[in-house]
Structure 1
Amino acid sequence: MTANEEQTMELEALRSIYEGDECFKELSSASFQYRVGNLGDPKAFLLEISWPEMYPELPPNISLNAFFNNSISSSVKQDIIAKLHEQAEANLGTAMVYTLFEWAKENQEELMENHQPVVSAVTLSMTENTVTSHTSVAKKKKKEQLSKSQKKKLADKTDNRGELPRGWNWVDVIKHLSKTGSKDEE
């Protein structure tokens, strides 16, 4: 059987095995991605495997260069790839993409045991910008539109810092009761 025939058979097998699996993605007829772990899991990673021309006689190309993996340090990525290459060497001459994906799933904890999330400056600045933009939106919502006469009245009531004196909007209970009491008598 030729390499192309073996690749075609493996492609059909992969499509039937991973049909409906949201973790699996066929990038092309010779390139596949599999997300190992759940989306919210900090130890999840996206494994990409592609076939060279002489696959399965040659090991597949294994990559962790997807944007999804940016939080994983390069040393952990190199370690994962090295361990997957060992598995690939042991399976030379046979269809192995399914085997590699499943091995990675079974050994996820071990592969990611040295993983320390990398917090990039981009993430920090995005977080700061988000906080700043949320704060400015909140400030804009609180601001009311006042007429000129309302602004003048407000300026007359404020102190040197532009703040209203304590109790400026309190109701004088005695005056209020005496006004309502005189209306009740009439």
Structure 2
Amino acid sequence: MSNAELQEEEREVLLSIYDGDPAFKNLTPTTFQYKFGEDESPKSFLLEISWSPSYPSEKPTVNMDTFYNKHIVQEVKDLILSQVNVEAEQYLGTAMTYTLFEYVKEKLEELLTAQPESYVNDTTDSIENLSISETQESMLSSKRSVKKEQLSKAQKRKQWDRVDGKGDKPRGWNWVDVVKHLSQTGSKQSPEHELPGSTAAIQLNSS
């Protein structure tokens, strides 16, 4: 059988075996992924296997550089790639994708020995720092908005000097100053307000 025929046959077997398994994905006719470990676990990762036109006469391409694996340390990625490639050497010329996925399942704990479990906390810290930064930015934006709303001296003077359509200031604009002035000076009595007979009394006393 040709490589193309072998690939078609293996693909059908894989789809049959992993039918209903959410951890398995057939991205393209020649690219397959399997997720190991529980979702959101620091020791969960995707293993991707791709076939070249010469597969299975040559080893498939094994990939660990997917976005889902961003938390996996490089040391662990290198170990998984190395071990899977060594295992693939034994099965050249035959269908091996299922065998490689099962090999990783069996060796999972051993392969993840160097993988730390603290990345969840690191992620939480990053989220908290992001929230603090967003809050600070929000406060600064509010201050900038308030500052923009303040009137300049020229704007205040313009409002004070507003006049009506005839060019006159509105009635009563200076009433406060008049009242203030009267309260400070007081009212002065005119000569007409002097009491009657006050002059005569002065003259009698003087005589």
TM-score range, shorter chain: 0.5 to 0.7
Larger Rg: 2
Pair 1:125-2:126 in alignment: yes
Q: Superposition pairs for residues 1-186 of structure 1, below 5 Å?
A: 1-117=1-117, 119=119, 123=123, 124-130=125-131
Cα separation, partners in 2 of 1:88 and 1:127, compared to 1, 3 Å = farther
Distance 1:66 1:73 in 2: 13
SS of residue in 2 equivalent to 1:40: coil
Q: How big is the shift at 1:125?
A: 3.4
Read off the aligned partner of 2:127 and give its amino acid letter: M
Distance 2:128 2:61 in 1: 35
SS of residue in 2 equivalent to 1:47: strand
TM-score by length of 2: 0.60
Distance 2:118 2:91 in 1: 33
Cα separation, partners in 2 of 1:135 and 1:15, compared to 1, 3 Å = farther
SS of residue in 2 equivalent to 1:52: coil
Read off the aligned partner of 1:12 and give its amino acid letter: E
Q: How big is the shift at 1:132?
A: 6.3
Q: How big is the shift at 1:118?
A: 7.3
SS of residue in 2 equivalent to 1:27: strand
TM-score by length of 1: 0.66
SS of residue in 2 equivalent to 1:6: helix
The 8 Å contact of residues 71 and 117 in structure 1, kept in 2 or not, is answered as: no
Structure 2 alignment gaps of length 5 or more: 138-207
The 8 Å contact of residues 72 and 117 in structure 1, kept in 2 or not, is answered as: no
How many pairs are equivalent? Answer: 136
Q: How big is the shift at 1:116?
A: 2.1
The 8 Å contact of residues 49 and 60 in structure 2, kept in 1 or not, is answered as: yes
Distance 1:130 1:81 in 2: 37
Cα separation, partners in 2 of 1:39 and 1:131, compared to 1, 3 Å = farther
Q: How big is the shift at 1:46?
A: 0.4
* Residue equivalent to 1:183: none
The 8 Å contact of residues 73 and 118 in structure 1, kept in 2 or not, is answered as: no
Structure 1 alignment gaps of length 5 or more: 137-186
Identity %: 41
Cα separation, partners in 2 of 1:72 and 1:43, compared to 1, 3 Å = same
Alpha-carbon deviations, 1:94-128, whole Å to 9, x = none? 101000111111111000011125759x9443332
Read off the aligned partner of 2:103 and give its amino acid letter: W
Cα separation, partners in 2 of 1:72 and 1:6, compared to 1, 3 Å = same
Alpha-carbon deviations, 1:16-52, whole Å to 9, x = none? 1111100000110000110011113321110000001
Distance 2:24 2:86 in 1: 22
Distance 1:97 1:86 in 2: 13
SS of residue in 2 equivalent to 1:38: coil
4+ residue segments displaced more than 4 Å: 117-120, 131-136
